[in-house]
Amino acid sequence: MSSLQGYVDRRVLLVLQDGRAIVGVLAGFDQKSNIVLADSKERVYSADEGVEEIPLGLYLVKGEMICLVGEIDEDIDKSVDLATIRADPIPPIRYG
């Protein structure tokens, strides 16, 4: 996944197979697409309450768990009031 090189030192969103959404600064990655995020937070979505952000700090994610990597526009992200967003959590991926 050499295309990850362009995301290093940028704020990204990872969507994982278990449905979690992790936001952080891409600090590094390896040949198996394992990713290290700095200053990371898990965003927990709820249909009843606003989005909760849980601080994770420096966080390692196994490449096999990652479904999506996307760059976040920091200006837009800062302008959004997460407390006003209502959304169902992403369901985990099920195989078989």
Cβ-based neighbour number of residue 39 at 10 Å:
14
Sorted by where each starts, the structural domains of the chain and their CATH numbers stand as 5-75 (2.30.30.100)
Per-residue pLDDT of the chain (96 residues; tens, 9 = 90+): 458 999 999 999 999 999 999 999 999 999 999 999 999 999 999 999 999 999 999 999 999 999 999 999 999 999 999 999 999 999 998 877
Query: If you count DSSP H runs as helices and E runs as strands, how many of each does the chain have, helices first?
Result: 1, 5
pTM for the model stands at 0.90
